A and B are shown apart, each in its own frame.
Chain A
Amino acid sequence: MNFWLQIFANPELYAATLAMATPIALAAVGGTFSERTGVVNIAMEGIMLVGAFFGVMVAAATHSAWLGMFGGVIAGGLMALALAWPAIRLQSDQVVVGMALNVFAGGLTAFLLNTVYGYNGTPTSTPSLPIVTLPWISNIPFIGQVIGQHDVVVYLMFLFVILGHFTLFHTNLGLRMRAVGEHPEAAETVGISVVKIRYLGVMIGGMLSGLAGVYLSLGMLSSFDVNMTNGRGFIALAAMIFGKWTPFGAFGAALLFGFATALSISLQGSGVSANLIGILPYALTIIALTGLIGRSRPPAADGLPYVATK
């Protein structure tokens, strides 16, 4: 009893939850944008990986973590373009393209890591993103310890979750995006360019996934390692579905996965089998994907190529 109380009363558990949830939430919100416009995005894993690598590469070269972040986000956007073009222009199967990109990203980053940096990995001098301490809030007991001091990307994540929700549900652009994902023909007949909107959705998705990758490489650490995303892109996919294709929902789901991860970390060496705890986030993913927790309805035209007849 006492043991569990100690674990659950420790604010660090919740702080770690936030930290672990951040990359998942970012990518999931990004995926939400992509899928709301009707493009299935299973390439988040790969895009994150590319974002993480180029984040470090640019940061190491320029000695600026900020420029690194910028580079990672741009790289994520470009990678998304590689999904958008075949998916939108060539009407390719979006799942196949997405999977191909994941494989490609794994190979590309491993290859570049090796050729650019050799055995030693990315330079130890790579700067990392700053930790921000919120004035006032960080002094509040418990709450301050949970949310008062984090990597800057954690706060950016909050910003993007709110901004994402606001954009999707309270702007004309968001209405257009949702319309395109539900019924592209109907959107086209009221004068909306399905192609442009879908490009925008996929690009936003790619940039947010890129930022998620940057957080892994320049936030949590300041280096890149082969396959360092470790399936988080797929967990983000689950969080997006779990969150019913809404930014707040995605954030909530990311928190759940983040909590499971943080718990598994704090239980390390406590006697509870770490392996057992370690599968928690993944088990949750499976439950979410098999739809045990309520049915969530994807955008009606999600994954369907749009062919404009002219």
Chain B
Amino acid sequence: MALLEIRGLCKSFAHVVANADVYLDVEAGTTHAILGENGAGKSTLIKMISGLYRPDSGEIALDGAVQHFASPRDAILAGIGVVHQHFMLIPAMTVAENIVLGTERQRDAATPRQSRLLFNRKRAAASVQELSESLGLPIDPWARVETLSVGMQQRVEIVKALYRRARVLILDEPTAVLTPQETEELFAVIRKLNQDGIPVIFISHKLDEVRAIASTVTVMRAGKTVRTAPVADATAAQLANWMVGRDVILQSRKEEVAVGDSVLEVKNLSASDDRKTEKVRGVSFSVRRGEIFGVAGIDGNGQTELVEAIVGLRKVNGGSVHLLDRDIGHMSVGERIARGIAYVPQDRQQDGLILSFSIAENLQLREVSKAPFSRRGWLTRAAARKRAQQLVEEFDVRPPVIDASAGSLSGGNQQKVILAREMSRNPELLVAVQPTRGLDVGAIEGIHRYLLQLRAEGRSILLVSLELDEILSLADRIGVMHAGEMVAVMDNQNVTRESLGLAMTGKWSEKEAIS
């Protein structure tokens, strides 16, 4: 009998049916992948299993016993552990505080050394350390969460779930934010948990990963579970087909575009992060018309600061930025936008959208002072709405309801709204940071097509991505960042994954580049 059984779960929100008749059987000690397009209802399903949402109908059974979760507390006590798509950690608190939080009255979970009334930092730290080491997931219990890398934060989330004696571990898009190395480490952890009999539900958009780690896969489409199959039986192309309901081109094709004059010219640029440590050191490069310039590098090597300095969100320490031969280095963000820079930021919830605004409002934000969004300072609602409806359809935002709040969209669809807004402005230069992070294969195909189309129209694109495959398949030239410097600029034609990997880890020497 399956350890976790989901039978006919349904859940509707104001504008959409998020889950309609979902079935899932998860066997002990296995990894069960859930695949599905953006908005297919994966996170909603997880939130019901974890007691955050209450199902409209249907049953959740653990070990054959039907569960009624009125709150996350019930789910935790029953042994459900979840690492949510957007981490549920308190940045200002320490690792130990985050992990023991709320466990003191859960008799079963609390370690015997924990008092019910008093919070003892040292004991909490000791018990967290002990557990994390016994799991083979060492973490510093005293570190503040905000100082940890994303990979470490995820580790904290996993330990947090296991501290509560989770019998099932659910990971909602755990690899979306990880580097390839971190992903490997995560897989090792998952395998170990499986050996201990703990099943893992693994949600991802990356077909290769699903094939690498899962034994069974369930595919969701439009709120329904449409297929469950052993992973070994399916090819990546088949999985993609089940998800999207049509064949997907996994490798995009580029046409030849004549490269023109340089549009963006960055010279000797230096910038510091918020803690005043210099993160960008004398970076120079240019992006030409009809070109996609890819910036590769391991997360945290200055890419974020470089981009922010270019779009005007960060003060530069030195050097210059020219757009179409004009020095824009000292212009405000607004002036830079007016001169033709479009920006797709890395953190869509923080910087890209106003979550409480509707889709229509978010779509008009950037150019609200222009037609068709306003005339002589007055909003022209009807025209703006028509434009929004058009964009929502063109970019396949789901649900295509322009009055829904941006916050109610699934992660992938939020990204589509930003892209729709930025790309529809026909910018001179599009700066896109991780534009397909968290998107499903169908959506990625669409975004890549849009980027290539912009390129074919002779526009310039600065593409920052942690996904080597994305850079390799889209970029014409690739600049590699390491420790704040652009250690190499290579032509995509004569680049290999190995040379990129070397440059990213700083083991690249110019001599090799020349030879």
Q: Which residues of A contact B (CB under 8 A)?
A: 169-176, 178-179, 182-183, 185-193, 297, 300, 309-310
Contacts and interface: CB of A to CB of B under 8 A. Distances in A.
B93 interface: yes
Interface string B53-78: 11000000000000000011100110
B424 interface: no
A267 to B, nearest CB: 42
Interface string B470-507: 00000000000000000000000000000000000000
Interface of A is mostly: helix
A192 B73 CA distance: 7
B93 A170 contact: no
A172 B164 CA distance: 16
Interface residues of B, number: 34
9 contacts: A171-B118, A172-B117, A175-B97, A175-B100, A183-B91, A189-B50, A189-B82, A189-B84, A192-B73
B116 A183 contact: no
The 10 closest A-B pairs by CB, nearest first: A191-B73, A190-B102, A186-B88, A172-B104, A182-B90, A183-B90, A189-B88, A192-B102, A172-B119, A175-B119
B385 to A, nearest CB: 26
Nearest to A166: B118
Contact of A191 (B76, B89, B91, B97): B76
A183 B101 contact: no
Contacts of B100: 175
Contacts of B84: 189
Nearest to B120: A170
Nearest to B408: A309
Contacts of A190: 72, 76, 88, 101-103, 160, 164
B251 interface: no
Contacts of A170: 118-120
A127 to B, nearest CB: 37
A309 B14 CA distance: 12
Nearest to A175: B119
B117 A171 contact: yes
Interface of B: 50, 52-54, 71-73, 76-77, 82, 84, 88-93, 97-98, 100-106, 115-120, 160, 164
Contact of A182 (B73, B82, B92, B103): B92
A182 B89 CA distance: 10
Given A185-B88, A188-B72, A310 B53 contact: yes
B273 to A, nearest CB: 17
A173 B72 CA distance: 18
A176 B101 contact: yes
Contacts of A193: 71
B101 A187 contact: yes
B41 to A, nearest CB: 14
Contacts of B117: 171-173
A305 to B, nearest CB: 11
Contacts of A174: 119
A182 B93 contact: yes
Nearest to A178: B93
B90 A186 contact: yes
A172 B110 CA distance: 12
Nearest to B99: A190
Interface centre among B90, B97, B98 (most CB of A within 10 A): B90
Contacts of A183: 88-91
B427 to A, nearest CB: 33
B92 A191 contact: no
